[in-house]
Chain A
Amino acid sequence: MAIASDKVRRARPLLGTFVEIEAAGAAKSKMDGAIDAAFEAVAQVHRLMSFHDDDSDVSRLNREAWLRPVKVDAWTFRVLEAAVELHRRSKGIFDIAVAPTLQNMGLLPRPDGDPPIGSQARSFDAVELLEGQRVRFGGRGIRIDLGGIAKGFAVDRALEVLRGFGLASGLVNAGGDLAAFGREPQTIHIRHPCDPRRLMCRVEITDEALASTARRFDLLSSAETTGSAIIDPATGKPTGVIDGATVRAGSCMMADALTKIVMICGTGAIEWLELYNASALLISGDGDVRITPDWHHAVHLAA
């Protein structure tokens, strides 16, 4: 007979970060099986949507979709649908076609024989979604990167798998994009975007998702923050006014995507936060913290 244990938490390197999955309130063997299956869902998103993997849907699209419609997996199609809708609703602020800029900055690799592409803003019909999960690009110079939305989608899929096992609670954290379910609130500590060694605040979440973004840093080589990997499509340059943002939303995919809009628009992002029933916290360069009024009760700042 399986021995009941209160919770199990494991971590694997996936999606270019560390993905943590926690299961609670079931027999140990059941929690282990749930976590294995949830990791498999994350690995599947990684295989489908990695910019770095030649066999991913994203790489096939970047190679061939300007020539002919390319059929993609149902999950990839769902992410593209969400990205295209958000692109349209945000008037181009959210844009999965900024990959050439990231390539030119050396933040994304350029496959052999792939010529450099200018970093100008993309047109609205860059990514065309067709019948039968097929996708066509509007021109030869289109390159997409789902790095701003796929991690959140992976968290949602993993959480869905955990839910399917009938656990009391579960949590998935993909390097700061996280979501949880269960009756008890989960406490999340948020790093200071300018110094990852410090915690800036804690937030409680219940049955919801949280995504955080900041200027880039890599604790393995340095704790110093560097430039942003988020590109403003209007200027083709990295964003600079906001140091960090955390967004709360019903789905992690939407929270993940909305952090990009907040980093680009700052306080102006409130229009889209309201549209998607999301809340946000942003830290501007002068050290000020701004929180949407629907959420400030749940955020406990270090003071």
Chain B
Amino acid sequence: MMTWVRYTLPAAAITSIASPSYAMQYLSIDEAQKQAFPSATHFTEVQAGRVWKAEAGGRIAGFFIFDRVVGKHLYIDYAVALTPGGAVHSVEILQYRESYGGEIRSPSWLAQFVGKTSGSALKINGDIRNIAGATLSSTHVTEGVKRVLAAYGNRLR
């Protein structure tokens, strides 16, 4: 039978600020447009910086809408691709940021990670690519998509 190995996290580790900001850039607007409408030959800006019409060989392939939801600690850029009929074709996250404002107190937190692979240094915006923990709710994006649909679903035809 296995037994647990017990550690006590020093108080210093509990209070240290591990990640003052965490950002992930997935796709640029250009890349997301091509991703959503691979066959499109032309994107026309219908509303500056927000709505584009995708065309393929003179026919409308669909619409691409850029939007942003802002929460207390999160800023999420996302894009909704609509079919020519105004239905959701896909929803893609473009950029995701967690920000904690003035809480950057100790950049030396990096040195606090001990372990058998101490050679692999952590960088705040470099190496932290995978964060696990409790689930982040995507409710705000889901609500945003509903707003986008209500605003554009019937208008863009």
Contact = CB atoms under 8 A, between A and B. Distances in A.
Given A11-B26, A187-B127, A300-B116, A176 B7 contact: no
A267 B5 CA distance: 11
Contact of A300 (B2, B17, B115): B115
B72 A273 contact: no
List of 5 A-B pairs having minimum Cβ-Cβ separation, nearest first: A191-B133, A300-B115, A220-B71, A199-B18, A11-B93
B48 interface: no
Given A11-B24, A197-B19, A220-B73, A302 B132 contact: no
Interface string B120-134: 101000011111111
B45 to A, nearest CB: 23
Interface string A237-252: 0000000101000000
B72 A221 contact: yes
Given A212-B133, A301-B115, A303-B10, A296 B5 contact: yes
B130 A189 contact: yes
Contact of A216 (B129, B134, B142): B134
Nearest to B34: A32
A140 interface: no
A175 B135 contact: yes
B136 A270 contact: no
Contacts of B127: 187
Chain B interface extent, by class: 35 or more
Contact of A302 (B18, B100, B103, B134): B18
A18 interface: yes
Interface residues of chain A: helix, strand, loop or mixed (majority) = strand
B113 A202 contact: yes
Given A223-B73, A289-B8, A290-B5, A302 B112 contact: yes
A189 B132 contact: yes
A289 B10 CA distance: 11
Interface string B97-110: 01010010000010
A219 interface: yes
7 contacts: A10-B27, A187-B120, A189-B132, A202-B122, A220-B73, A300-B113, A302-B109
B72 A287 contact: no
